[in-house]
Structure 1
């Protein structure tokens, strides 16, 4: 009995000590929930009490979203993954300098809390905006480069960060191909498809109720080429649509997008984007046209929203299109992400009427129309596609590509989503003594007054001048007093180096029929300079196409 009592007393003393220690070390009012992302899941790390949590944000890592709640005091958080990421929050202010460019200007971020976040998602770093109650500068890895972007100060505190593009798979090199060009003798078979990753087929028309439709059914679907059957009366697609599908079938990295709008049809966007009903009609009919024709997405070319109402409606229109494509792929089991691109202005008078930050959630690629900077609307001659500003006057209103790129990045657009536009035509100034001088007219031109295709330039007798400040080319005929601003092989080569330096996603050309082709062509020049072209496969599966040959995958072609 004595031995048993001693043993029992020892056990009581031991558990009393353990209980006391537990009571002294247990935290009060602390909850923790951690879900580890392995696929498309969500990870939440919480550290909360009644008063110390001051900010939160979402950080995209691959296909997962990681939410982090942080205390107001400085701390370090290590996120799970193959690399170590430090998240440090310091109660201070900061100055963010543009990552690239010739200047040394900087943008000050007005905030009392600035957080700097690096998230592993590849072997490099890029920047995305992290909007919250305090502005943040975030660094997210993509590719082999580092780019920073600052969230605009007007961002809603509840808005989520803009998702960056996926892993970089090569530069895009695209060209617009017009259906009216077929009537002028330039056919789909002449496209340099081995040098292209994307073709933008221009343009689809828009009905009053918002329905997207063919602007030329004969060229698009009915025109017969030598290899087409003349007696086949079944529901097959012919014309340019068939030829583009054959290009895709033989070149699996070639994507074809339907470009909707353009200068002539752009006024119809106002009504199409105005109501829920018209936006739904636009989106569903665009999806039907794309999946009937065997295309890979759409390109929205609205030139241009003019006020705040149209600015907001364009965002809603893009959202409707994204939802319509996602619904189609879900319902029909199509394992493909259809693309949405936007042709957008490089001039502030137009891009200020675009809600770039919000639009970016639904846009896969931005086509920066970096041309038409000078023309018949100006009082003096000038470059029409210069990379940098070339006038020293502080009052100068001249546009430049570099200024536009910086603006788009400042609105939270990842540089890899920006494609640099190049013209395959030149703009003329007659009766002028040189660049920046008065002129009398723009002349007769080729396809239209004052415009000449690149394939016809330079004119005989004209001297080619390269402006090393603007990084732009023009030709000048002193006898005829004619100046023509255009891109040539030299300026295109520089632009290829510029977009790699800026870490942009690639380039596109307006429009394919203006090129010379071969080694002297600009599409070929860009392709060689970029070297690594986008290898993302296209889609050939269209189970709902009303055209039998596209629905069956163009057998025998």
Structure 2
């Protein structure tokens, strides 16, 4: 509420008048010895018409004379003082907002919002007695003000308390019917998520019907898919509902299922630098099971011109001898004679041979696409995406490279729009928020976020995607090929909601969730880097490594809430682990979980090692690395699956149970997917903890994404997988995923 200048001018004039402003005004001061009169002593009007006025002893010549009435002294209207009043609001969430009405005795109403009243500057109220009224509906709960009245007077120094009481609002009812499922299908699970992607209700249908009672609010409803094993068809709901529930309302939803093409995409990123120290070559890749190979990374300058990331590794390196694999023979690229006349060499030439072998040996139409950007080379994305001319230069130059090197499309890896390159903006915002201390309000937090975050990135990214798709389509008109376009995105729901991914869907083949690095040795507490479901709870008191929403299930739910269908979503799976050492057992039923630790020595960098390193000397091709060899055969002995039991208690169970369409079964107990967190390694002898995805965990994720009807999954990165599985007895994670899909 604001007071106008006119109000203050009028108030000033009244004060001057009341004080007898000017030299002719009578003094209202009293002598030091005088006794102040009460307000009633100023009443000078006659008390009745029979009152005798004047000297009653002398009545001569007064018979026909009107009595002389003295002038009436009019008491000036008191001017109420204006006060700045601070309030303490109790009993209602800080994020709730609404209106509070202050009602004067004359029934004049003054209204303020809760956010105004919570502000440190306070609100303006005149001295008076007020009755107070407010009822606020927030997240399905009515909060009723129980403070009935307040008194405001000048000189107040203490804040005024307003107290709310929570009363559950009358729930709304949703009746849901599932249609067009094949005969023989079993009942399906219906799950409800709030607008922060938290699971609020989950029920199995009865005769393919379910009735949900929900508090007023906005929700996303998802429907479990059905795999018809007899006919090798997968049925999924045609839509994920975003609904608004009002108090005492009733809604009927009819959900139709349809059969999807039973094909789940297996993708993986190949790091160009793997050809060096890791000695990870294109001919080590699996030509049978990979559907999409993402070649990481291309770079681009401030003008948007896209270039190869490493000219030598990409197109110049020569493999001067033939290499025989289970998939076929890779021909040498020599400096002289046969094999010296190729248009280019290096990794990109080997990729052409990989695609040919995949087709000839397995009839596999493997595609390979350039991935642009990544953690290191995202710096120019914001400025290029914001400029139409630079967007065009980016699209033209990237498409030209696709044509020149016979690649099959593009993948954009901007890390990260809105949050800033390498999280620069969100980190600065979080630092500023932390500096405000524990008393900071949600409104203050949001103001800081608004100051730092680059919201325009979201719309600019859509425009960049549009022009890239246009140029790829133009190339299609020339070559007759269909070109792939995808993006890799942050897994955090709070970042997903800030971007416009639904607006990109007409132009994209897939959205790849980087559902890893949710925890790592940048934290001093062990955690889970690629959880399927959330772990946060009262039995995880040291859980500091990530927010509960940073898990695959919540990331998918957040995309659904933004209008992205599961058929466009690719789930990310790590081919590496994050390592802590000096970790105590802690709680016996979850050994090593949420315990203090320090960064381990790692393989190619501190605290980070490949899945194949963790397998130790069980590989037929032992890694020449002391850290990797130290694992020996311990991985199978010390790998656990973290779950929540039927009492919602975290437990670590064995890694060698059975994975099926309903979850993970071990020792006669089945854990549904939304109660499975992640696999991990903990050795109490070496006191080493590693968060990683075991082959069992990959199978669990594969079954879950089949159940949900996702497009598929991808791995980062191929250098961490087992070498050619045909010559290696150990489980390849890429194989584990592909075999589960098939």
Q: Which residue of 1 aligns with 2:303?
A: 209
Q: Which residue of 2 aligns with 1:522?
A: 733
Shift of 1:95: 4.6
Q: Which residue of 1 aligns with 2:459?
A: 312
Distance in 2 (CA, whole Å) between partners of 1:283 and 1:152 is: 38
Does structure 2 retain, via aligned residues, the 8 Å contact 1:471–1:494? no
SS in 2 for 1:263: coil
Shift of 1:212: 0.8
Q: Note the alpha carbon deviations across 1:242-268, whole angstroms, 9 max, x for none.
A: 111122223241010100001000112
Does structure 2 retain, via aligned residues, the 8 Å contact 1:297–1:338? yes
Q: Which residue of 2 aligns with 1:177?
A: 270
Distance in 2 (CA, whole Å) between partners of 1:316 and 1:359 is: 9
Shift of 1:352: 3.0
Distance in 2 (CA, whole Å) between partners of 1:520 and 1:104 is: 34
Does structure 2 retain, via aligned residues, the 8 Å contact 1:368–1:421? yes
Larger Rg: 1 or 2? 2
RMSD, matched Cα:
3.2
Shift of 1:504: 0.7
Distance in 2 (CA, whole Å) between partners of 1:217 and 1:98 is: 57
Q: Which residue of 1 aligns with 2:192?
A: 105
Shift of 1:481: 2.0
Instruction: Find out whether 1:273 has 2:366 as its counterpart.
Output: no
Relative distance call for 1:98 and 1:340 in structure 2 (3 A) is: farther
Aligned residue pairs, count: 400
Q: What's the TM-score, normalizing by structure 1?
A: 0.66
Relative distance call for 1:166 and 1:177 in structure 2 (3 A) is: farther
Distance in 2 (CA, whole Å) between partners of 1:150 and 1:367 is: 22
Q: Which residue of 2 aligns with 1:237?
A: 344
Instruction: Find out whether 1:328 has 2:475 as its counterpart.
Output: yes
Q: Which residue of 1 aligns with 2:240?
A: 149
Q: Which residue of 1 aligns with 2:642?
A: 467
Distance in 2 (CA, whole Å) between partners of 1:430 and 1:235 is: 49
Does structure 2 retain, via aligned residues, the 8 Å contact 1:98–1:106? no
Q: Which residue of 1 aligns with 2:519?
A: 374
Instruction: Find out whether 1:228 has 2:333 as its counterpart.
Output: yes
* Aligned counterpart for 2:367 among listed residues 252, 255, 264: 255
Instruction: Find out whether 1:340 has 2:485 as its counterpart.
Output: yes
Q: Which residue of 1 aligns with 2:609?
A: 452
Distance in 1 (CA, whole Å) between partners of 2:177 and 2:716 is: 29
Once the two structures are superposed, the pairs formed by residues 377-396 of structure 1 within 5 Å of their partners are 377-393=522-538
Instruction: Find out whether 1:197 has 2:291 as its counterpart.
Output: yes
* Aligned counterpart for 2:695 among listed residues 486, 489, 498: 489
Relative distance call for 1:452 and 1:349 in structure 2 (3 A) is: same
Relative distance call for 1:482 and 1:209 in structure 2 (3 A) is: same
Does structure 2 retain, via aligned residues, the 8 Å contact 1:218–1:239? yes
Shift of 1:148: 2.9
Give the gaps of 5 or more residues in structure 2.
1-171, 179-186, 196-218, 227-232, 245-257, 322-331, 360-364, 419-453, 585-590, 616-630, 645-675
Distance in 2 (CA, whole Å) between partners of 1:294 and 1:355 is: 31
Give the gaps of 5 or more residues in structure 1.
1-92, 109-134, 154-164, 532-557
Relative distance call for 1:466 and 1:295 in structure 2 (3 A) is: same
Q: Which residue of 2 aligns with 1:186?
A: 280
Shift of 1:435: 4.2
Distance in 2 (CA, whole Å) between partners of 1:96 and 1:389 is: 28
Once the two structures are superposed, the pairs formed by residues 42-57 of structure 1 within 5 Å of their partners are none
Relative distance call for 1:377 and 1:295 in structure 2 (3 A) is: same
Shift of 1:144: 2.6
Q: Note the alpha carbon deviations across 1:442-468, whole angstroms, 9 max, x for none.
A: 122111111111001153456111113
Q: Note the alpha carbon deviations across 1:204-254, whole angstroms, 9 max, x for none.
A: 011121111101111111111121131377671111111111222232410
Shift of 1:360: 1.9
SS in 2 for 1:267: coil
SS in 2 for 1:259: strand
Relative distance call for 1:276 and 1:191 in structure 2 (3 A) is: same
Q: Which residue of 1 aligns with 2:560?
A: 409
Does structure 2 retain, via aligned residues, the 8 Å contact 1:97–1:107? no
Distance in 2 (CA, whole Å) between partners of 1:358 and 1:270 is: 18
Does structure 2 retain, via aligned residues, the 8 Å contact 1:409–1:415? yes
Relative distance call for 1:529 and 1:451 in structure 2 (3 A) is: same
Does structure 1 retain, via aligned residues, the 8 Å contact 2:266–2:737? yes
Distance in 2 (CA, whole Å) between partners of 1:220 and 1:292 is: 13
Q: Which residue of 2 aligns with 1:284?
A: 396
Distance in 2 (CA, whole Å) between partners of 1:379 and 1:203 is: 31
Relative distance call for 1:409 and 1:96 in structure 2 (3 A) is: farther
Relative distance call for 1:211 and 1:486 in structure 2 (3 A) is: same
